[in-house]
Chains A and B, each alone.
Chain A
Amino acid sequence: MMQLSQNQTKRLTAVHGWGGVVLGLLLYVVVATGTVAVFGQEIAKWSAGASSSRGIDHPIDAIVRDLATKLPRFYLAETSIWENEAGELVAFFHSHVPKPETGENADFGTLFRIDPVSAVVLDRHEGFIWERPDTWETSALRHFLVELHVRLHLPDPWGLLATGILALLLMATALSGLLMHRHLIRDLFVAERSRARLVSARDRHLLASSWSLPFAVVLAFTGSFFSFASTVSLPILAQVAFGGDREAMMETLYEPAAPADDRPAVAADLDSILTRSTEATGGPPVFVSIHGFGRADARVSVWHAAGGGRMGFAHAVFDGADGRFLGVRPGIGISRSLGSDLNDLMWPLHVGDFAGLASKCLWGALGTTICFVILSGLRLWVRRREIDPAWRRFGRAVTTVGYGLPVALIGSACAAFLSATAGDPFFWTPVGFSVAALAGIALGAAVPENDRLALAFRRTLAWSCLLLPIVRMAGGGRSWAEALANGDAEVIAIDLLALATGGTLRLLVRRSPDRRDAAAQLPEPAE
């Protein structure tokens, strides 16, 4: 590896260590929730009692056409169509209207939730729909998890900026760790040495971080890309290259607007468009966007999920009046380029949704590895400074957050289940998280000894996991028999995973020796 002077190594160690200490716990929250959010679709099915592949697999033309005829033309400027996890067709007819509070343009219109088989409208909402997730989101639990991962529930743009900075921190710690570790290749197979020593903690951290290094870099890069794209990169690009004209920038970056022609025209058959689009791109259609429905200049964009050896989304464009296929567009730019190919890879590489459940499981496992690396690094840092009471308190904070976050997430899931039938899950899910998190913090403050605290948390986590499937069913969730009858293996798989995790933790708690004596350990050198 790269030879560094002693001073350079010291500086890198300071960057690596202090970066982790200052923001490591927040980074752990973002990575852990991201790891769970990888299974967002499965969690939505599990928590909302829903059953659908999310692909638009029913004829939709007659339904959309019928709804469009009943709406004023103003709402037909943009139409978004997708299928949610409950198997309902969602159609949002909208236009861009300045918001009274900020004066900025936002989507304003009418959203329908429709049974795609009987074409019955199940629900209808009007207004600035994106501000009311209960109108379009199937699962309150999934929504809460994703918002926590993406924005830490902070208002825009601060949430995205915060998670972007945390992604950069992950990148900085990964690269500084790579430079600091002089024998990365030679130590690639050195397993943890005998337990309860400082060198064992170091071995654990080094081994996990060395093997997960490529994934950490990919995750950090793609994460910061998504966080900074809308908050920093695009506004700067609009200012520098387009004199602040965002419309012009969007036309250059994405799709140039068709020459305006607002004469009424019969809309092309959407079912035929979806069939041809699937033939042209492969992968199921997951989202349809129509610009100017019923106008002569209408454009239909169809997005397809990964499939046929392609990792990212495919975007096919059709003429909305005569149904002509206009081509497959890259995610960014007008024609395919290296930049557009890299841009198309960002999403699948970040969320792991490119080869079904196999890729998601791998991404989930790799995310768990990164969580382990963060926590083991923090514990190693504390272990080296255990003589200082302030660092011992920080060690307890690491234990509290490390175990407290999963407990709080289970608390949010329980609140979502119990409020599903009688309350508003979009209100109670964050409340459940907050209550469980506060209980965890109280436990952390009440138990002064770190090992006993970890034991207490393991016990709590074990029972939480074991009770989770019972709470789900008590809240009106699907039974295993119903899930099997509907072919929803996800419901049973997540229940079994919770039971297995709870059982394993119970076994670990039973086998763990009384560690009260371990607290008397003195600090020792790393080697």
Chain B
Amino acid sequence: MSAAAVLATVTTLAALSHLAATDPKRRRAAALPVARKRRRAGLAVTAALCPGFLLLTAADGVDFTLWLSAASLGGWGVAACPPRRAARAMVRLARATAAPRHRLAGILMGRSRDEAAGRIAELERRVDELQADLAASARRRTPAAAHCTHEVDAA
């Protein structure tokens, strides 16, 4: 399997993973909340199909056939993966790759690594504080109070 076919397959599977993770029907069927990140379905579908088109035009039929079969197989694997387990895996992956991603973001933005990492750490600390405040205020709210609030909101 050539490097081009491997790269094309990885790109397609990444796009398919995004489509699966943000698919509204899949999330609804698994009783998951609506995805927070934007779906950008058109862009993702283009990213999934583009590698195949490029292989067909720039490489040869062998690579294209390998890509098509690997994408079919990988697509099934991505779709068949239980959504809750997939969501947990995505969170774990995001945590594990947070540091290198932040570093990369710092480099791409043209700032020094330390400066970028410092800013990101500051932001994350602030987010943690806000989440803690939110959790504390939610605990203070009794069910009756929440009910009243809901009625007020409805009114």
Residues of A within 8 A of B (CB): 186-193, 204, 207-208, 211-212, 214-215, 306, 309-311, 345, 349, 354-355, 358-359, 362-363, 365-366, 369
B80 adjacent to A207 (CB under 8 Å): yes
Main secondary structure of the interface of B (DSSP, over half): helix
Which B residues, 41 to 87, have Cβ-Cβ distances below 8 Å to chain A?
59-62, 65-66, 68-70, 72-73, 75-76, 78-83
Given the known inter-chain contacts A193-B29, A311-B65, please indicate yes or no for A188 contacting B79, CB distance below 8 A: yes
Partner of A191, one of B62, B69, B70, B81: B81
Partner of B72, one of A187, A191, A211, A355: A211
Residue of A nearest to B61 (CB): A311
Offer 16 A-B interface pairs, CB within 8 angstroms, sorted by A: A189-B78, A190-B25, A191-B80, A192-B80, A211-B73, A211-B76, A214-B68, A310-B62, A354-B65, A355-B62, A362-B70, A363-B69, A365-B73, A366-B72, A366-B73, A369-B73
Residue of B nearest to A215 (CB): B72
Residue of A nearest to B86 (CB): A191
Determine which residue in B25, B70, B73, B83 has the highest number of CB atoms from chain A within 10 A of its CB, and name it. Answer: B73
Please, how many angstroms separate the alpha-carbon atoms of A363 and B81 in the complex? 21
When distances are taken between beta carbons in the complex, the residues of chain B under 8 Å from A366 are 69, 72-73
Residue of A nearest to B23 (CB): A189
Residue of B nearest to A185 (CB): B45
Partner of A311, one of B62, B68, B72, B78: B62
Please, how many angstroms separate the alpha-carbon atoms of A191 and B20 in the complex? 9
Residue of A nearest to B84 (CB): A191
Determine which residue in B68, B76, B82 has the highest number of CB atoms from chain A within 10 A of its CB, and name it. Answer: B76
Partner of A309, one of B29, B60, B80, B81: B60
10 closest residue pairs by CB, A with B: A211-B76, A309-B60, A358-B1, A189-B23, A189-B20, A362-B69, A189-B26, A189-B79, A211-B75, A190-B26
Task: State whether the Cβ of B7 lies closer than 8 Å to any Cβ in chain A.
Answer: no
A211 adjacent to B62 (CB under 8 Å): no
Task: State whether the Cβ of B30 lies closer than 8 Å to any Cβ in chain A.
Answer: yes
B76 adjacent to A212 (CB under 8 Å): yes
Please, how many angstroms separate the alpha-carbon atoms of A82 and B73 in the complex? 35
Q: How many whole Å from B9's CB to the nearest CB in chain A? A: 10
Task: State whether the Cβ of B19 lies closer than 8 Å to any Cβ in chain A.
Answer: yes
Given the known inter-chain contacts A311-B62, A349-B65, A358-B66, please indicate yes or no for A191 contacting B76, CB distance below 8 A: no
Residue of B nearest to A358 (CB): B1
Residues of B within 8 A of A (CB): 1, 19-20, 23, 25-26, 29-30, 59-62, 65-66, 68-70, 72-73, 75-76, 78-83
A191 adjacent to B30 (CB under 8 Å): yes
A362 adjacent to B66 (CB under 8 Å): yes
When distances are taken between beta carbons in the complex, the residues of chain A under 8 Å from B65 are 311, 349, 354-355, 359
A189 adjacent to B69 (CB under 8 Å): no
Please, how many angstroms separate the alpha-carbon atoms of A229 and B113 in the complex? 66
Please, how many angstroms separate the alpha-carbon atoms of A212 and B76 in the complex? 8
Determine which residue in B1, B62, B75 has the highest number of CB atoms from chain A within 10 A of its CB, and name it. Answer: B62
Please, how many angstroms separate the alpha-carbon atoms of A265 and B126 in the complex? 92
When distances are taken between beta carbons in the complex, the residues of chain B under 8 Å from A191 are 26, 29-30, 79-83
Please, how many angstroms separate the alpha-carbon atoms of A347 and B78 in the complex? 30
Partner of A207, one of B70, B73, B76: B76
Q: How many whole Å from B45's CB to the nearest CB in chain A? A: 10
Q: How many whole Å from B102's CB to the nearest CB in chain A? A: 30
When distances are taken between beta carbons in the complex, the residues of chain A under 8 Å from B72 are 211-212, 214-215, 366
Please, how many angstroms separate the alpha-carbon atoms of A365 and B66 in the complex? 12
When distances are taken between beta carbons in the complex, the residues of chain B under 8 Å from A214 are 68, 72
Residue of A nearest to B74 (CB): A211
Q: How many whole Å from A219's CB to the nearest CB in chain B? A: 11
When distances are taken between beta carbons in the complex, the residues of chain B under 8 Å from A310 are 60, 62
When distances are taken between beta carbons in the complex, the residues of chain B under 8 Å from A211 are 72-73, 75-76, 79
Given the known inter-chain contacts A186-B25, A190-B26, A191-B82, please indicate yes or no for A354 contacting B73, CB distance below 8 A: no
When distances are taken between beta carbons in the complex, the residues of chain B under 8 Å from A306 are 62
When distances are taken between beta carbons in the complex, the residues of chain B under 8 Å from A187 are 25
When distances are taken between beta carbons in the complex, the residues of chain B under 8 Å from A192 are 80, 82
A208 adjacent to B76 (CB under 8 Å): yes
Residue of A nearest to B69 (CB): A362
